[in-house]
Chain A
Amino acid sequence: MNLAEVAQNVGLPGRKNCGACHFYGGGADGVKHGDLDSSLFKPDKKLDVHMAVNGPNFSCTACHTTVNHQIAGRYYSKPAPVVHKLALPKDYGNRISCESCHSAAPHKESKLNDHTDKVACQTCHIPRYARGGVYTKMWWDWSTAGRFDKNGKMIVEKAVNGTIAYHTKKGSMRWEKDVKPEYAWYNGKMGYLSLSDTFDDRKPVSLNWVEGSYNDPKARIFPFKIYRGKQVYDPVRKTLVIPKLFGKKGSGAFWAEFDWAKAVAAGMKETGETYSGKIGFVETKMYWPITHMVAPKEDSLKCDECHSRNGRLASLTGFYLPGRDRSKGLDTIGWIVILLCLAGTIVHAVMRLNGRNKMKKEQLK
């Protein structure tokens, strides 16, 4: 190896470097994120205005800048910098948020700028995720894994859209593309369920949760992929457990012996954790922030997508959203008054007509 040549050719990482892992998170193309998959190696403008090869052709490091060896981004509970100060490419600094280049008031129409305090840019500018043709996994049910056909062979079933619907090693799954995000108040901080945390197993368990609310001045409405599934847990202690997934036959590994009880026993022993010894399956969900695949402005959400009775934000309650919300009492009283006015004028008009006809008859007499 010519180390001199290597040293003389050090450069910034390209999309291939970052994408090799981050586009394939979860085991295959597009499994995990929904907004990061192999379609971003060479995206067009429709898919990503910033990374478009026929556009600005930004690499990952254009936004994920590095200051003192710290690459900007969001990891664990630490938020991506929410101080939305400007840091244009000519500046040395953190450029991870949209506002770094676009400011908090980038729209020509002032009413749109009025939204930026409560609505993240991503909410309107990423109308759907997994738009590049690559499917992302939305549902992963581990409880059905381990079935074999009558010849003792592994089963792989495909769905109508060509994605894998069942795999003996992984269980049942559902994939989607062009997916509408779900929305939540988010101040950039996330909480994570750890192995010692207990939970209520009668409803889907959140493996992570986003922090923030309408009253939190740092929180904004943000789009998420919510990754749902079923996974193994301890039904007595109501905690998660660690199954051993791969290993040799006899090690207890699930992909060798296809026995969840053995896999969990092996996994917990190896990691030095304790559990009740009983296992079950619980439904889980996980929030994945959607922040890549920013669409061209003409494809951004139209007002009615949220400002309507059953729009995208229908389930995000606790604040007044014009077009979605109203006072049922006020509307009922209002429309009753309007109906009474209409009825009153109609009755009055009929009585005038009757009066006139009566007078005509009397004149004839």
Chain B
Amino acid sequence: MKMRIQLYARFERFWHWLQALLIIILLVTGFEIHGSLKLLGFSQAHQVHLFCGWSLIILSIFAIFWHATTGEWKQYVPTLENLDKIARYYVCDIFKGEPHPHCKTREQKLNPLQRLSYLVLKVFILPLQILSGLWYYYYNQWPVMGLSGSLETAALVHTAAAFMVLAFLIVHTYLTTTGGTLLSYTMAMITGWEEVEEG
């Protein structure tokens, strides 16, 4: 039996899509500042990057507050349980049309692999990206802040994190097509409602 449940709250969807938009703009303008592409010109790319960077920081503060107050942070507690089944599903069973081994519920909307990868994104990659960005941007103030190091180190850490974010974005976007239809996961993230197996 299938049934429709609301998986994603209104703020969660707003946060997800705004974060997605900001990250894509930050990647494009960031790689322009890096010299990999030419689109807006360095000056404008820098201005847009700065604006989106601060927007992402403010959005992240709201998101952290939301996760803390709703208890939704528990969705990201990592587990090894059934991780092997999920892995086998994506490298094997998915091609045979077998059902997804994880039953989504309101309490467990993420499968173990999602828990792990989103946790890495949230507690490692994005903080690394944001902190290295601030470190990179405010290098003139390092002496005042008691920091030291070379601008090159800050720039390279920020670049490395950008590659991680881009890699995540590619794989994440592809995996949204693995639902019942190509767009069913995406629609769930837009409407909040998803059709799930009754557990």
Please state if B159 and A331 are interface contacts (CB–CB under 8 Å).
Answer: yes
Q: A248 at the A/B interface (Cβ < 8 Å)?
A: no
Asked whether A303 and B34 contact (CB < 8 A) given A331-B159, A342-B170, the answer is no
Q: A270 at the A/B interface (Cβ < 8 Å)?
A: no
Please state if B152 and A334 are interface contacts (CB–CB under 8 Å).
Answer: no
New A-B pairs, 13, CB < 8 Å, besides A330-B160, A338-B170, A352-B178 = A114-B139, A114-B140, A307-B35, A307-B42, A320-B152, A324-B35, A334-B162, A337-B167, A338-B163, A338-B166, A348-B90, A349-B174, A355-B95
Q: B94 at the A/B interface (Cβ < 8 Å)?
A: yes
Chain A 171-207, CB within 8 Å of chain B: the 1/0 string?
0000000000000000000000000000000000000
Q: A54 at the A/B interface (Cβ < 8 Å)?
A: no
Q: A354 at the A/B interface (Cβ < 8 Å)?
A: yes
Interface residues of B in 43-58 (CB under 8 A from A): 43, 46, 50
Pick the residue among A308, A309, A320, A345 that contacts B155 (CB under 8 A): A320
Pick the residue among B42, B43, B94, B167 that contacts A355 (CB under 8 A): B94
Q: Which applies to chain B's interface (DSSP): helix, strand, loop or mixed?
A: helix
Interface residues of A in 322-343 (CB under 8 A from B): 322-327, 330-331, 333-335, 337-338, 341-342
Size category, B interface: 20 to 34
Please state if B170 and A308 are interface contacts (CB–CB under 8 Å).
Answer: no
Interface residues of B in 174-190 (CB under 8 A from A): 174, 177-178
Please state if A322 and B97 are interface contacts (CB–CB under 8 Å).
Answer: no
Please state if B97 and A356 are interface contacts (CB–CB under 8 Å).
Answer: yes
Q: How many Å from the CB of B88 to the closest CB on chain A? A: 14
Query: Measuring CB to CB, which residues of chain B are less than 8 angstroms from any residue of chain A?
Result: 33-36, 41-43, 46, 50, 90, 94-97, 137, 139-140, 150-152, 155-156, 159-160, 162-163, 166-167, 170-171, 174, 177-178
Q: A71 at the A/B interface (Cβ < 8 Å)?
A: no
Asked whether A338 and B96 contact (CB < 8 A) given A111-B46, A326-B159, the answer is no
User: Within 8 Å CB of A351, what residues of B?
Assistant: 95
Please state if A345 and B46 are interface contacts (CB–CB under 8 Å).
Answer: no
Q: A159 at the A/B interface (Cβ < 8 Å)?
A: no
Please state if B167 and A341 are interface contacts (CB–CB under 8 Å).
Answer: yes
Please state if A330 and B43 are interface contacts (CB–CB under 8 Å).
Answer: no
Please state if B43 and A302 are interface contacts (CB–CB under 8 Å).
Answer: yes
User: Within 8 Å CB of A299, what residues of B?
Assistant: none
